[in-house]
Amino acid sequence: MRDAVLHGGAPGAGLSSPLLTLDRLRLEDGAHCLIEDVTLRLQSDGITVVMGPNGAGKSVLLRLLHGLTAPSAGHVLWKGAPLTPEIAKRHSLVFQKPVLLRRSVAANIDFILRARGLRGEGLRWDALRRVGLLDKVSHPARRLSGGEQQRLALARALVTSPELLMLDEPTANLDPGATQMIERIVKETANQGTKVIFVTHDIGQARRLAGDVVFVHKGQLEEHSPANQFFTSPQTAAAKAYLSGDIVT
Ligand SMILES: Nc1ncnc2c1ncn2[C@@H]1O[C@H](COP(=O)(O)OP(=O)(O)OP(=O)(O)O)[C@@H](O)[C@H]1O
């Protein structure tokens, strides 16, 4: 395992204390180690892209970061404090396949607002406007197209104004147009000050979005570098092979 603290070059690197710290984070499942002593510090600015082959542990890592899975050892720290359910409520996670209620678009947003004790139709309208779904407000959510469903999932994640937005391959099943819309919203969100962690397999997408790249392989952190460094001179054999399109073993 490498302690891949970001060195130089990336926006904000070394200038302030980390927003998010993973301290020797470990997850075991019986004899199998899914996440192996990962230590990582993420700064508050920009989009961190997480890459790695199938089964590398990217989704498991996001679940640990959101407190949905408890680590076997190690800690997740948010602004230096241990992650708690209260802190996790200020974070949002969007999954690859949106899980939507069998209700209207509006009702899907209102459900989250109620669950978080937030009030105001204005929040709902703002969120739907941001993702371009104002004209679908009364539609049954499950009858939206795949791209629209993912934008609704994004609206639901954004309506609480999260400090951290995590997305797990949100465009994996979408066409280029729908993908572009999601990328635009994610970039706008990051520009407005929300920290974004974005998991993707798509190297082109990673190049478009990433300020820094976390590369994981077999549950280990292989590399954490500023994006320009990662794409031009990856430090590890696995990352080099991955970027070249070779099979990573
Ligand atoms: N709840 C779980 N219990 C036990 N093992 C799990 C669990 N969830 C995932 N795993 C295992 O952890 C490993 C990493 O899975 P994960 O879904 O995090 O990979 P990934 O990098 O997101 O892959 P992909 O790119 O295919 O989505 C896999 O071997 C998977 O089978």
List pocket residues of ligand 1, CB cut-off 6 Å: 29, 34, 52, 54-60
Q: Atom of ligand 1 at shortest distance to CA of 53?
A: 25
Grade residue 206 by pLDDT with cuts at 50, 70 and 90.
very high
Degrees to nearest 5, angle at CA 212 with 20 and 217: 85
Whole-number Å distance between alpha carbons of 214 and 128: 31
Is the separation of the CB atoms in 201 and 248 below 8 Å? no
Residue with tokens 């590369």, as numbered in its chain:
215
Query: Can you name the residues that pair with 216 across neighbouring β-strands?
Result: 221
pTM metric for this prediction = 0.91
Of 13-27, 104-118, 198-212, 228-242, the one with minimum mean pLDDT is 13-27
Chain centre to alpha carbon of residue 55: 17
Domain boundaries, the chain: 100-161
Shortest CA distance to 168 belongs to which of 50, 248, 8?
50
Write the ipTM.
Answer: 0.96
Can you give the C-alpha Rg of the chain in angstroms? 18
**Overall average pLDDT of the 165-173 stretch:** 94
Give 113 Cα–ligand 1 centroid separation in angstroms.
30
Q: How far is the CA of 239 from the centre of ligand 1 (A)?
A: 19
